[in-house]
Amino acid sequence: MAALAAGVPAPRRATGQHATLADRPDGTVVHSGGVVAKAHAPDTDRAALDIRIRVAAAARMGGILLPPLPVLAREGALSAVLHGRPVTVWPHGTPVDPEHPEAAPWEDAARLLARLHAVPLDELPGPLPAMRGPAKAARAVRRMRAADPGPAATPVLAAWRRLPAWARNEAPAPSSGMLCHGDLHLGQLVRNPAHDGPWLLIDVDDMGLGDPAWDLARPAAWYAAGLLDPEIWLSFLGAYRAAGGPAVRPEGDPWPELDVPARALTVQTAALALAKSAAENRALDEVEELMVEACGRIAALPPELAFEASS
């Protein structure tokens, strides 16, 4: 159960009537009243972000994605630039409670993903950008290398080299004709209206066209690493299949579709763990160690079961 709280927002840091929900290089999120404002990273692709925000506002996405609010009420603009950073505004929703991981809405998340993946692209604004999942994995590896964690990085880099080029963001994905969230974890769900509304997906910064299996890859990686209870994994997978999700075959072994994305998310998680631990001058915690160990198992797979860098 330890991994269930991973990805869930940390407790808020309050200042007066405001609360900072997140403050990272890739975005600062502040809650005030019934509104949440996000200042995106300075290097954000504005054109791609504008399309993603318009997709979130599309009527076709009702009941799937949390819709944005106008930044400038008079003009109806869905984004603005403040101090060089794009800013978007959203309704406040109730996030997953990190103190009660046993109540995590895994089945709701699976059904939302199935609906997202099935949305006809011709009903959405475009042109849609690529899903940024592989780009985030590659960025995590670069961050780990820059942090220079020493020999601990060896199994992570070995597992990274065994991924095909598309999973390392070095080539287009072989399956890229579906809308994907791009960064699914429990922190990407809120209830709206707050407290008792339905669960909705949030954070469209990585959304775009890609392999929908990537959106299932984080829980798949946790399950494979022994961090997610088999019952929870099977419940999540079963709910996705029952809702007609196209990322995996309707029945039977799902791993032909999930294997590469799950390995990539394992590497991404381990790389970020090593980068953060090196920056904070601390040892890996138990969960982080398990993800690095999982990379070691991936790197040790025989050639016939591994995807070499040349593929």
3-state helix, strand, coil in the chain (%, to 5): 45, 15, 40
- For residue 241, give the 3-state DSSP assignment: helix
Q: What is the mean pLDDT of residues 210-234?
A: 96
Environment class of residue 88 by beta-carbon count within 10 Å: exposed (0-12), middle (13-18) or buried (19+)?
Answer: buried
Task: List the beta bridge partners of residue 72.
Answer: 77
State the pLDDT at residue 91. 95
Residue 305 has what pLDDT?
64
pLDDT, mean of residues 297-302: 91
How far apart are the C-alpha atoms of 59 and 126, rounded to whole Å? 14
The answer to whether residues 132 and 51 touch, using CB atoms and an 8 Å cutoff, is no
pLDDT of residue 306: 57
Burial of 77 from C-beta contacts in 10 A (0-12 / 13-18 / 19+): middle
CB proximity list for 237: less than 8 A, separation 6 or greater: 110, 216, 248, 254
Please give the pLDDT value at position 22.
83
Tokens 């930044």 appear where?
71
Q: Is the pLDDT of residue 3 over 50?
A: no
**Domains and their CATH numbers in the chain:** 2-305 (3.90.1200.10)
pLDDT higher than 70, residue 73: no
Residues 128, 70: Cα–Cα separation, whole Å: 21
Check whether 299 has a pLDDT greater than 70.
Answer: yes
Strand ranges, E, within 170-251: 178-180, 189-191, 199-201, 208-210
- Report CA 67 to chain centroid distance, whole Å: 18
Report percent pLDDT > 90 for the chain.
77
Mean pLDDT, residues 105-117? 98
**Which pair of structure tokens corresponds to residue 93?**
């929703």
**How many Å apart are CA 147 and CA 297, to the nearest integer?**
23
Measuring CA to CA, which residue among 182, 112, 161, 116 is closest to residue 271?
Answer: 161
pLDDT class for 309, splitting at 50, 70, 90?
very low
DSSP strands (E only) in the chain? 13-15, 18-24, 27-32, 35-40, 80-82, 85-91, 94-95, 178-180, 189-191, 199-201, 208-210
The 10s digit of each residue's pLDDT in 242-297 is: 999 999 999 999 999 999 999 999 999 999 999 999 999 999 999 999 999 999 99
Kindly report, residue by residue over 76-110, the tens digit of the pLDDT: 789 999 888 999 999 999 999 988 888 899 999 99
Measured between alpha carbons, how far is 164 from 309 in angstroms, rounded to an integer?
A: 5
Sorted by sequence, the CB contacts under 8 Å of residue 54 that are 6+ apart come out as 78, 125
Write down the mean pLDDT value for the chain. 90
User: What's the average model confidence in pLDDT over 29-42?
Assistant: 92
**In this structure, are residues 89 and 36 in contact, taking their beta carbons and an 8 Å threshold?**
yes
Which residues, 6+ apart, have CB-to-CB distance to 43 below 8 Å?
none
Both structure tokens of 201: 């997906």
Pick from 145-149, 152-156, 174-178, 218-222: least confident: 174-178
DSSP per residue over 56-96, as a string? HHSGGGTTTBPPPB-SBTTTTBS-EEETTEEEEEEE--EE-
Q: Is the pLDDT of residue 124 over 60?
A: yes
Which amino acid is residue 95, in one-letter code? P
Q: Is the model's pLDDT at 176 over the cut of 80? A: no
